A and B are shown apart, each in its own frame.
Chain A
């Protein structure tokens, strides 16, 4: 089975971090390639065609965001960005540039693995996303019927407005991935409305109210403060 293992490229300049991530991923049956700077990373990306890239933003020779842009120009390979806690702007930029997810340093090993699994599964149409079957999305007790534009919790239909439905459906289609405010606004209201985060936040508050979720117990949609929202996939959070 070893030929079937997913290939992961880790681009990170800290030797100790490279070392432990490699140990962790290798023992969990991934094939790992290591690059310690952007130039090396770019070459390895082209020669090994990895299934997923873990990209540190603070590289010595080039801005990680620059590298991300170059990768996105030629491929849709999932990229998870590794970043420091206070770089919200970098996170938003990375997501808008097409990164699939970000992990904040220091990160737990369980968290990193969960993110890798989600990103690979979402990117691979053949692996099949367990949450999608016949025009329906299912996660926990939530079901979205795309054909009839209906969202229900435990079989109980929610009375959502058109806009609210569009938001929930969009998040579900990208389940497991953080969508930035700008991305959602662009998709739901069109390009002209970029910047009206408030409108989105109010709609989101109404969605939460209709779902009847309390703070700290929202298992469906996760808040990424000042960045965006993410639909949770069952068993991943």
Chain B
């Protein structure tokens, strides 16, 4: 689809450029009464065409048409083809050379830009991996250490000590689960957006599902909820979006020291749904940008939405992201 659009776009650009130069030439010929400028004007137009379109095709096409136009309209005999003039053939060679050099250069530049973006992505992934392997080691140490201690000192430990060690194991295993879920999410969207399987999810059901999980994990934490009453359907991968909201709520519970209020506000504007998670704690610092937030950003972007995290003027942090509602036309 995008490919087709790009083709049409490039084609229109080429035609416009040719028409423009043709009329400029007509004007120049009329007002200055000379043909000397005409090949130069066409050369510039071919150059611009090549610069702003993709691949060699349009530039070469424009060059050939320009040569024909110069031959037909601006060389004696006017408005008649005459292929016996060596001057005209020579200008054709010049234009084609310009075209080929320009498109070679622009292709090179585009490739370079793509490579820069790729290496940026690579760097991000490497950082993420480093953070993860560091973060995985801590709970693994507890699990391995505690269980070894129990096996090797089984009879020496009191019942309470056993229980304490086992509780540590469970806690860290729980944390690991969490981490692995985040990791899985990243690998799921890893190979570009195409892998995302979106299904229409009812907003109210999404929120219900997240809240049930949140209350289970943090039964003591109150959460204010404010959301539209109407039926809203959003195409998404629900497991991933649930995780985004959960990560943001948990981030507040864990890092927003001194928090007295935590809220989830959902509003709609035209076709967009805005999710806002607000707290009144110490605010957010760069230090807290862990895997959780990186994952949120990646997931939201893969859904075509925007994710931002900032501090409120009155204290506390706001994390917000947008998602697109289902198109009305797709309903039927």
Interface residues of A (CB under 8 A from B): 85-86, 88, 106, 197-198, 201-202, 204-205, 208, 214-218, 222-223, 225-226
Given the complex of chains A and B, what is the CA–CA distance between A225 and B140 in angstroms?
32
A225-B238 Cα distance, complex, nearest whole Å: 7
A86 touches B188 (CB 8 A): yes
Q: Are B181 and A216 in contact (CB under 8 A)?
A: no
Interface membership of chain B positions 101-144, coded 1 if the CB is closer than 8 angstroms to chain A and 0 otherwise? 00000000000000000000000000000000000000000000
Q: Are A86 and B201 closer than 8 Å at their CB atoms? A: no
One of B177, B211, B239, B242 near A216 (C-beta < 8 A) = B211
Q: Which of B21-29, B61-69, B92-100, B202-210 lies on the face that meets chain A?
A: B202-210
User: For the complex, what is the distance from the CA of A202 to the CA of B242, rounded to whole Å?
Assistant: 21
Given contacts A86-B184, A216-B207, A225-B209, contact A197 B200 (CB under 8 A): yes
Please state if B239 and A85 are interface contacts (CB–CB under 8 Å): yes
Residues of the A chain whose Cβ atoms lie less than 8 Å from the Cβ of B199:
226
- In the assembled complex, the CB of A228 is this many whole angstroms from the nearest CB of chain B, namely 11
Question: Which of these, B205, B211, B231, contacts A225 with CB under 8 Å?
Answer: B205
Q: Could you list some 6 contacts between A and B, CB below 8 A?
A: A85-B181, A202-B231, A204-B202, A204-B205, A208-B204, A216-B214
Instruction: Check if A215 sits within 8 Å of B204, measured CB to CB.
Output: yes
Which B residues touch A216, using CB under 8 A? 207-208, 210-212, 214-215, 223, 225
Given contacts A85-B184, A216-B215, A226-B201, contact A201 B233 (CB under 8 A): yes
Does residue B227 face the partner (Cβ distance < 8 Å to A)?
A: yes
A88 to B227 CA separation, bound complex (whole angstroms): 27
B205 touches A223 (CB 8 A): yes
* A226 neighbours in B (Cβ, 8 Å): 199, 201, 238
Identify which of residues 171-222 in chain B touch chain A, using a CB-to-CB cut-off of 8 Å: 173, 177, 181, 184, 188, 199-202, 204-212, 214-215
Q: Is B160 an interface residue (CB 8 A)?
A: no
The prevalent SS among residues of B at the interface is helix
Contacts of A222 in B (CB 8 A): 212
Q: Which residues does B use to contact A, with CB under 8 Å?
A: 173, 177, 181, 184, 188, 199-202, 204-212, 214-215, 223, 225, 227, 231, 233, 238-239, 242, 331
Chain A residues with Cβ under 8 A from B223's Cβ? 216
Specify which chain A residues have a CB less than 8 angstroms from the CB of B225 in the assembled complex: 214-216
Query: A49 to chain B: closest CB distance in Å?
Result: 35
CB neighbours of B210 from chain A (8 A): 216
Q: How far is the CB of B104 from the nearest CB of chain A, in Å?
A: 45
Q: Are B239 and A218 in contact (CB under 8 A)?
A: no
Closest to A214 in B: B225
Residue from B200, B223, B231 having most chain A Cβ neighbours under 10 A: B231
Beta-carbon contact of A86 and B239 below 8 Å: yes
A202 and B210 alpha carbons, distance in the complex (Å): 20
Given A198-B233, A208-B204, verify A215-B211 contact (CB < 8 Å): yes
User: Shortest beta-carbon distance, B155 to chain A, in Å?
Assistant: 20
**B231 close to A88 (CB less than 8 A):** no
Q: Chain B residues near A85: list those with CB within 8 A.
A: 181, 184, 239
CB distance from A16 to the nearest CB of B (A): 12
Instruction: For B185, give the chain A residue with the smallest CB separation.
Output: A86
How many Å lie between the Cα of A208 and that of B231 in the bound state?
Answer: 11
**Given A205-B231, A225-B242, A215:B200 Cβ within 8 A:** no
Closest residue of B by beta carbon distance from A89: B197
Q: Which residues of the other chain, B, contact A215 by a CB distance below 8 angstroms?
A: 204, 207-208, 211, 225, 227
Docked Cα-Cα span, A91 to B231, in Å, equals: 26
Q: Which of B173, B184, B205, B223 has the most CB of A within 10 A?
A: B205
A202 to B331, CA, bound (A): 12
Please give the distance in Å from A88's CB to the nearest CB on chain B: 7
A75–B227 CA distance with the chains assembled, in angstroms:
46
CB distance from A147 to the nearest CB of B (A): 31
- A204 contacts across to B, CB distance below 8 A: 202, 205
